Amino acid sequence: METSVKKNFPVTGLSCASCAISVESMLKAQVGVLDASVNYANSTAWVEYTPQEASLSNFKSAIQSIGYDLLIEEEGHDHQEEMQNVHYKKLKTNTLWATILAFPVVVIAMFLMDIRYANWIMLILATPVIGWFGRSFFINAFNQAKHGKANMDTLVALSTGIAYLFSVFSTLFPEFWHEQGQHAHVYFEASAVVIAFILLGKVLEERAKSNTSSAIKKLIGLQPNTVNLIQENGQEMEIPISQVVIGDKIRVKPGEKIPVDGEIISGSSFIDESTITGESLPVEKEKGGQVFAGTINQKGSFAFVAQKVGGQTILAQIIKMVQQAQGSKPPVQKLVDQIAGIFVPVVMAIAVIAFATWMILGGENAVTQALLAMVSVLVIACPCALGLATPTAIMVGMGKGAENGILIKDAESLELAHKVNAIVLDKTGTITEGKPAVTDIEWNVSGDEKTDLEQILYAIESQSEHPLAEAVTASLKNTSHKRIAPDKFESITGKGVVANYGEHAYLVGNQKLLADYRVNIPKNSSDQIIIWQSEAKTVISFARDKELLAVVAIADKIKEKSAKAITDLQNQGIEVYMLTGDNLHTAKAVAQKVGLKNFKAEVMPSDKADFIKELQNQGKVVAMVGDGINDSHALAQADVSIAMGKGSDIAMDVAKMTIISSDLQLISKSIRLSKLTVNTIHQNLFWAFIYNLIGIPVAAGILFPIWGFMLNPMIAGAAMALSSVSVVSNSLRLKFKKLDY
């Protein structure tokens, strides 16, 4: 079976939402492409393709053929940023000169039309505005037309081009109109000012769009350019970060950023991990502690060995995840894209109808009225406001989430999270710390035999990957151990393990396992088990054949913020459930401590997904929060899946959201962020639709029969530029919203 690859590529030359749709449809038409999505707001294309069939060079050629470019080089981000800076400077220069030249044209048209050669002066001033500083509109429109497509550039090129050519004709051949008893009108000011206004709008839009991606820029800026490599002779040498390989020893001094992920081998320090986890308090790190790229060393100096470099670091994964998420589209955007795809042809049709209507009904000024109506309709129509409404809000929302330690994989989850009315929590690692430790062991055997059995218990638990097994081996690590290898080892999901050694079968697990093998439980052990369970301790038993050898109490500390986080969620009217594989006594004790009414004990991993499905059948929108491999099925079943950042890689791969710091209080913030983002999207779409629904009929002259008002193309151009900027600015307001309830 052919495996697919998902990659993000920077796209250059996008000037409107319709451009993004053109690039997207071109990519989808390429051989080997399974899916593609282009985000106008951050100028990136997300492509899923099969490398065996698809060719990146073909992608690039196809996109270049319609007037854009796809950056497929590894240094795509740096190259894109460099090209964006060049483009932005060029755009500002063109805007400045277009404005300087258009201003006197407006002054002459409004106040000085009686001066000699007024039309010729305006022609000389307007020509470079149209032909040079606004040439990109005409070039892009031509490239689109070659492929039977149209976009915003088509509207601008048609409107300003028609007004300009009409004015040139009137200037060169005024007698044509005089012979018909009409005045030779010119509209140089309309064509020049529209170009200047739209260029100005582009400058403001680009500046605002760059602010929407500030979160990504901050994340990329967290990594230092050089590192202090400790050589074999102990000397330190400064090398570029790109040369660091796994196994290198690196020195980090106070105030320096940690370059890659690794483990401290000497020294200690307090490290500011707020950039990754959102936690404000510095974390103490000693020998054996894990450090992460992008975090900041505060006080001490230490050496660490590199374990993950380049794209493998947690910082790199976060950047990649945020970039992919910002490029994803929620369901509402897919509908908007369909509207934007037919928007330009519909506007062109309305412009033609407006022209024809005024030619028929315009009387003596039919040509003037028809021309003004057509040009104004073409100018005022703005697919960009529609195209920017959703992605800019999503980008700002995703970035704000990342800054608060909330990673969101796709826009659909961000859009859906505010509808969640039921949350299912796994206990271990979600409500609790996920670091179980043995608190008590009660043996039913005497001295010498106990020593031998400890060694067997250690050997069995050493082969298990269960967190509780790790707690048992940790408690026995200081005892002397012979190398014992069980003859047979079987892990029974949700119950424990069975191992054969010599002539006996040894069991390590919960009450279900003991019941299956009909193990006799003495009364003193049974009473002790009940006491421990009432203290929220998990109890596992160690048996040989049908004889109970020992009972072990393991406690997993409840996180400090769990109780408040659960209370906050319940106060919002959200039903919170806890599912655990622990017995009823332990589950009840934990639930009481954190204020939970709804919980289920002795739940098998497969039962978690069934429970979520049951809630969904009741019409609830369910979020699942977990951290382990055994949660992956339930996470996949949930409407919104949330993984705790300190959990397994599989859980984080399946989940659509990740709480980096494993702080449950961030779930409330995630829901608040979703509400704010969705509200912003709705506001943007409302104003974008209202603007076009009102603006296009007014431009077509619908108010002229009532109030004698005909929209000047210059005003239409200013309104069009303002609509895009206002949508982006409204999205940027999200950056300053608080996520606390």
| Active site residues per annotation | 426
CA–CA dist 561, 668 (Å, integer)? 12
Enclosing H/E stretch for 669:
helix 665-700
CA–CA dist 268, 307 (Å, integer)? 18
3-state helix, strand, coil in the chain (%, to 5): 55, 20, 25
CA–CA dist 153, 150 (Å, integer)? 8
The gap from C-alpha 300 to its chain's centroid, in whole angstroms, comes to: 35
Beta strands in 127-256 (DSSP E): 226-230, 236-240, 249-252
Contact 369, 722 (CB under 8 A): no
Contact 577, 600 (CB under 8 A): yes
Q: How far apart are the first and last CA of the chain?
A: 48
Q: Of 396, 394, 400, 387, give the one whose Cα is nearest residue 412.
A: 394
Structure tokens at 188: 């140089």
CA–CA dist 132, 125 (Å, integer)? 11
Torsional sign, CA 591, 595, 597, 599: negative
Instruction: Give SS3 for 6.
Output: strand
Instruction: Give SS3 for 598.
Output: strand
Q: Which residues contact 480 (CB under 8 A, 6 or more apart)?
A: 455
CA dihedral in degrees (231, 237, 242, 243; nearest 10)? -40
CA–CA dist 85, 101 (Å, integer)? 24
DSSP assigned state of 258: P
Give the orientation angle of helix 17-28 with respect to helix 331-361, to 10 degrees: 120
DSSP assigned state of 514: H
DSSP assigned state of 434: S
Contact 118, 189 (CB under 8 A): no
Contact 713, 379 (CB under 8 A): yes
Instruction: Give SS3 for 296.
Output: strand
Total number of residues shown for the chain: 741
